[in-house]
Chain A
């Protein structure tokens, strides 16, 4: 997959999704891409299953369908570790990028790049959800089951989402991406409660393990351009991966980041080390036979997922927190994704008193 904008080889439109405005917008924006109206996506899935690389094959096709369940869900987080009280919006499922470690390879049963087009249901569900949570500041994002901006040149969803959340002051809305697909974002008026965030990694991991994603330098440059328009930006070092010279690799990226963007514009940086369910390992081995990242010292954590043996995690976190603080990020709110209290205590020097405390800590810089 090229690092330029994603266009599917073919679009499948579920019959009942054909008349939605977003469907029409997508079909217009993709230009001469072949399209087919189908009754049931299962027909397409059966054919894909007879190919060698089901997940890779699925990325070639875009499915337009409706969200039949809830658009807004609490981030599943993980039992036994501290959560950050995040909510996810499931508009797009799956991602045209092909990162070796991606949890979606295990998590999603449908390998097609999928867009849910019944946005009227989304706005209605969001109104109800935010009204119920009106006494709290809620963090919501779209980047859990797909990349928030990878399809934005086709869907234009960022424009609508930013417009919606601009008026919802009890919500902090985050678009999370590895792409530089920021044309729409650069066109719109920034909103103080909207954060545009990038997943970052060492250049070596980005190059070897994040197939199809722009380089780390390109991502940082895109973040700079977005922050200069007035948006706040965020970063996620997740998954942090041990590899030869990892200290040097992560320090270089952090130095570059904090020299390029104004640290005062950074709403937060999250840290999370590589973790995965045991069943993902077999998928990674089969799809990425050259990768070595799964052969480090992983143990079964309290949630049953494989994660680095604790002293190794702690070493990663302490170094990276130190690099951020040393290169000018002393005031940037940092948090861990799915970590235990003792890791918080030893690497950050404090432990949030529950999810709401963490929520307040991350909301504070936005006023």
Chain B
């Protein structure tokens, strides 16, 4: 390596072959800058208005070796985001690294279990559309959800964006999982489900917020994915509604109606409130709707 003082104009930011860092805050970096030897730091210097900076210029012509130098430098100093790992693995493959070596050597370095299947998943992530990558990063989507996204084609992923954007991690996963499973079970393309009248009606509803739309579609998919369970829940809620319980008393079935028992919860602040709740509960036992609940077991 040769040490040089290089004008910042001579540093190409268009050549991203060896770029490792994609997701960072430049502002934080500017405060701590002392010297330049990497991608983020060049950007920081430009923003600071510097015209030149001292650099080490590599004479290495082998792209893989050059990339590995950048990789190891970053590896020693920080953790990588999920999509950065995907980019690193994609570059290693592109620069000719042996697939078996990537699995056995580099996946463990990136804290990824060393299987070919994991490598293939990350390579698929690296091919995602830029807009989707941004959302994955911003939402800090976990591997399991990103892997679900890889099961969709680019057009389907684009259609999913309005549902993913307002949703939290768990809801996103539910939407992605239920849609894919309905599609596989019923042999219907996800796009066809997303273009169904029910979905289009919800998406076109003017008074609903993006979050409300995403939620309504999530419920629609859940009902399609679990028809018997959803119908059982609806029957239970219907009966409960007819009982006109005070808000202080909550009757619940066991999770997924798996156990025979139901539970009743209520709170009270004094003996009078306790007595009122108990009397109300006693009244319930004589109601027909209450007996009907037990048939839902």
A→B interface (CB under 8 Å):
46, 49-52, 54, 286, 292, 295-297, 299-302, 309-312, 340, 342
Distance, CA A50 to CA B103, complexed state (A): 6
Distance, CA A249 to CA B181, complexed state (A): 24
Checking B117, B182, B226, B258 against A310 with a beta-carbon cut-off of 8 angstroms, the contacting residue is B258
B104: interface (CB < 8 Å): yes
B residues less than 8 Å from A312 (CB atoms): 228
- B226 near A309 with CB under 8 A, answer yes
A residues less than 8 Å from B50 (CB atoms): none
- A311 near B228 with CB under 8 A, answer yes
Checking B114, B116, B185, B256 against A299 with a beta-carbon cut-off of 8 angstroms, the contacting residue is B256
B residues less than 8 Å from A292 (CB atoms): 184-185
Distance, CA A309 to CA B185, complexed state (A): 17
Residue on A with the closest CB to B257? A310
Closest 4 CB pairs of A and B: A299-B256, A295-B185, A50-B100, A50-B103
| Interface residue total, chain B, C-beta cutoff 8 A | 25
Count, A-B residue pairs, CB within 8 A: 59
Checking B181, B227, B256, B297 against A300 with a beta-carbon cut-off of 8 angstroms, the contacting residue is B256
Distance, CA A297 to CA B228, complexed state (A): 8
Interface residue SS majority, chain B: helix
B255: interface (CB < 8 Å): yes
> Separation in Å of the B100 CB from the closest CB of chain A?
4
> Separation in Å of the A130 CB from the closest CB of chain B?
37
Residue on A with the closest CB to B187? A292
B14: interface (CB < 8 Å): no
> Separation in Å of the B287 CB from the closest CB of chain A?
24
Residue on A with the closest CB to B116? A52
B residues less than 8 Å from A300 (CB atoms): 255-256
B residues less than 8 Å from A295 (CB atoms): 181-182, 184-185
Residue on B with the closest CB to A53? B117
Given A292-B184, A295-B185, A54–B115 Cβ distance below 8 Å?
A: yes
Distance, CA A300 to CA B258, complexed state (A): 9
- A299 near B258 with CB under 8 A, answer yes
Residue in A51, A301, A310 with the greatest tally of chain B CB atoms within 10 Å: A310
| Known contacts A54-B117, A300-B255, A301-B256, then 9 further A-B pairs from the complex at CB < 8 Å, ordered by chain A residue | A46-B104, A49-B115, A52-B120, A286-B117, A296-B185, A297-B228, A299-B255, A302-B258, A340-B259
> Separation in Å of the A318 CB from the closest CB of chain B?
15
Given A297-B229, A309-B228, A342–B116 Cβ distance below 8 Å?
A: no
